[in-house]
Chains A and B, each alone.
Chain A
């Protein structure tokens, strides 16, 4: 498995009237070839900012790379000029946005919009580009593309528009596709169709996907690996099974517990108390400590490093330190851990408690 993208110790700040907002505070992750990496976290956790900084879509006047690098094809994307970046954007790395209503140009026919990246990045004739565009629309499931080519975005439904946005993003066979909450604005049935489409396309064209979402159900459906972000940092990263069946960070526990399950009839839903941290004055130590019932004294004083759980699984919580006291996660989490080989609650027998 080759690494196609490496983000190393990225730190980024926004300069606002109120002061410096430290939106990303040391984020590192790798993206492997052909995989889907899901980044989860609530609003303000820095997940969208991370991907926008990869695409260099943040306003240069107010944002600043403090340190770190984003390595793609041996180049550090944070150091490239605008002109060099334009050759990568839409060709090597492309992006799908949350709202398909606003990410298409309402005054251009969708045919023109699909052809735009092809004509920009590839040296082919207009007629050929049109052919490629039609194929793309067919691939994403727009019926009768010949007739649809001359239509405008408002003549399509939300789900169809998102399909068109995906067609545009795929126009130049990008190596990386960044999908920023691509299904949040859609209904469950349409969401299911779009997710199926994305998986289908990934099988065909072998691109790597970074999938941003806050819906853990969607993550379980699409992801190979998951990174959980909180307060501008990645607090836990692992394979999808490791995150869902052997989570280690109290924030991941909280996220998983606050989802109502379909079969259990709990009286009260677990809710993470409090609100996300203010990144104008980020807390010293573990950003989640103030909302966590598992916080230790050291959490208030020093930020935890990434502790290794397995070769693919890392979590930033002092609870994993050898000297930390033993704590049991919430009950629903223990239930999850029981099914995971390698977790400390794993039960061999399927019969239940011994």
Chain B
């Protein structure tokens, strides 16, 4: 499956208030690729820049430096209106808060059809309505729901509407920014299963942003771990969980409580302090490939130590 690169992020930087004393380096030089048909999970604690990464990729922010290539085309380069439109059709986003991301004054029909209208995908009102009904059924709702307003739905149902809206323009790539964090446990599994089914059916590619590591592991093929604007580790999902190499990833994994009281009684949390690396001033801290497909942010010395352990 590891074949075609759909999205390439190269040395991406996103600084807010650049040059001022209040400069915030939300994304500090990160690079990764997403392959067609896979789910790439991005995890990290709040404020680490994972949402900013998603938003910069879809051009909600202009990047400070670096490149995002979608299918070989730069997302941030200057574009004509029609080029922007073409790109927007391919890339869609699902937001975290199903309460805030739907316009309360619009009917579900119009919310979902907005993309169809913008891109001129429905020839007449009848076709428009029909397409919306199909989308509603795809996400597990039904046609009576089209004439209602967002407040008439539960959180899980609203998230389904958000997914239907993203699907309306037949995208290839969907950025899901914490799509299940605001939902109840029993509903989370429903939405995750829906996303998985849709991926199989339509061959979608996902960037799945979350802080819930157990769900991320379940849905992702590969996972990147972010810490303070930097990608510290990237690996296939099961490799990352079985054999985390960066101390921050280890600390993050050791902090997750599992629904298993016997395991919980013996779990020891490993704290992480960035000072523990003790990098010298002349040491080059880079993203290095330790085993094929498993990248870690480390110095030359750490890299050698990890290599010894890995082989």
Q: In the complex the two chains form, is B186's CB within 8 Å of A255's CB?
A: yes
Residues of B within 8 Å of A255, CB to CB, are 185-186
- Residues of chain A at interface, number, CB under 8 A: 43
Besides A268-B193, A273-B190, 12 new A-B residue pairs in contact (Cβ under 8 A), listed by A number: A187-B45, A187-B46, A189-B45, A189-B251, A189-B252, A189-B272, A196-B269, A254-B186, A259-B214, A262-B214, A271-B192, A276-B186
Query: Are A270 and B213 in contact (CB-based, < 8 A)?
Result: no
Q: Which of B15-23, B142-150, B255-263 contacts A (4 or more CB under 8 A)?
A: B255-263
Complex CA–CA separation, A191 to B46 (angstroms): 12
Cα A276 to Cα B186 in complex, Å, equals 9
Q: Which among B156, B187, B252 is the interface contact of A188 at CB below 8 angstroms? A: B252
* A146 touches B (CB below 8 Å): no
Residues in A with CB closer than 8 Å to B188 are 258
Instruction: Kindly identify, within residues 34 to 72 of chain B, every residue whose CB is under 8 Å from any CB belonging to chain A.
Output: 45-46
Q: Is the CB of A269 within 8 A of B259?
A: no
Q: Is there a chain B Cβ closer than 8 Å to A240's Cβ?
A: yes
Inter-chain CA distance A272–B191, complex, in Å, is 11
Query: Is there a chain B Cβ closer than 8 Å to A285's Cβ?
Result: no
Q: Is the pair B45, A258 in contact by a Cβ cutoff of 8 Å?
A: no
A118 within 8 A of B: no
Which residues of chain A are near B241, meaning CB under 8 Å?
262
**Mask of A239-261 contacts with B, CB within 8 angstroms, 1/0:** 01100110000000011101111
- A254-289 CB mask vs B (1 if < 8 Å, else 0) is 111011111001101111110110000000000000
Q: Say whether A43 faces chain B, with CB atoms less than 8 Å apart.
A: yes
Q: How far is the CB of B272 from chain A (nearest CB, A)?
A: 8
- Nearest neighbor of B267 in chain A, beta-carbon distance: A221
Taking the complex as formed, is A352 at the interface, i.e. its CB lies under 8 A from any CB of chain B?
A: no
Task: Enumerate chain A residues within 8 angstroms of B217, measured Cβ to Cβ.
Answer: 260, 262
Contacts of A158 in B (CB 8 A): 46
When distances are taken between beta carbons in the complex, the residues of chain A under 8 Å from B300 are none
**Closest chain B residue, CB of each to CB of A40:** B185
Q: Which residue of A lies closest to B242 (CB)?
A: A263
The reply to whether B45 and A188 contact each other, CB–CB distance below 8 Å, is yes
**Chain B minimum-CB-distance residue to A273:** B190
A218 engages B192 (CB within 8 Å): no
Q: A205 contacts the other chain (Cβ, under 8 Å)? A: no
- 1/0 per residue B209-242: CB within 8 Å of A? 0010111011000000000000000000010010
> Is B307 part of the contact surface with A, judged by Cβ < 8 Å?
no
Interface: B154 (CB within 8 A): yes
Identify the stretch in A66-74, A134-142, A209-217, A298-306 within 8 Å (CB) of chain B at 4 or more residues: A209-217
Given contacts A262-B258, A275-B154, contact A42 B45 (CB under 8 A): no
Q: Is the beta-carbon distance between B238 and A265 smaller than 8 angstroms?
A: yes
User: In the assembly, what is the distance between CA of A285 and CA of B190, in Å?
Assistant: 25
B-side interface size class:
35 or more
A217 engages B258 (CB within 8 Å): yes
Q: How far apart are A257's CB and chain B's nearest CB, in angstroms?
A: 8
How many Å from the CB of B174 to the closest CB on chain A? 19
A216 to B269, CA, bound (A): 18
**4 closest A-B pairs by CB:** A217-B257, A271-B189, A260-B218, A216-B259
6 sample A-B contacts, Cβ–Cβ < 8 Å, listed by A number:
A158-B46, A196-B269, A221-B257, A244-B260, A271-B193, A275-B156
**B107 beta carbon closer than 8 Å to chain A:** no
* In the bound complex, CA of A255 to CA of B187 (Å): 10
Taking the closest CB of chain A, its distance from the CB of B228, in whole angstroms, is 13
A295 at the interface (CB under 8 A from B): no
Q: B146-171: which have CB < 8 Å to A?
A: 154-157
Which of A43, A190, A258 counts the most chain B CB atoms within 10 A? A258
Say yes or no: A42 contacts B269, CB within 8 Å. Answer: no
B78 to chain A, nearest CB (A): 38
User: Are A43 and B184 in contact, CB atoms less than 8 angstroms apart?
Assistant: yes
Q: How far is the CB of A52 from chain B (nearest CB, A)?
A: 19
A276 to B189, CA, bound (A): 14
Q: How far is the CA of A217 from the CA of B46 in the complex (A)?
A: 20
Task: Give A251's nearest chain B residue, CB to CB.
Answer: B186
Q: Which residues of B contact A260 (CB under 8 A)?
A: 214-215, 217-218
Given the complex, which residues of B lie within 8 Å of A216, measured CB to CB? 185, 259
CA separation between A188 and B270, bound complex, in Å?
A: 12
Q: How far is the CA of A268 from the CA of B45 in the complex (A)?
A: 27
Give the shortest distance, in Å, between B100 (CB) and chain A (any CB): 16
**With A192-B269, A258-B186, A259-B185: A240-B261 Cβ-Cβ less than 8 Å:** yes
Asked whether B196 is an interface residue with its Cβ less than 8 Å from the other chain, the reply is yes
Bound form: Cα–Cα A251–B251 in Å = 33
Q: Is the CB of B257 within 8 A of A195?
A: yes
Residues from chain A with a CB closer than 8 A to the CB of B127 are: none
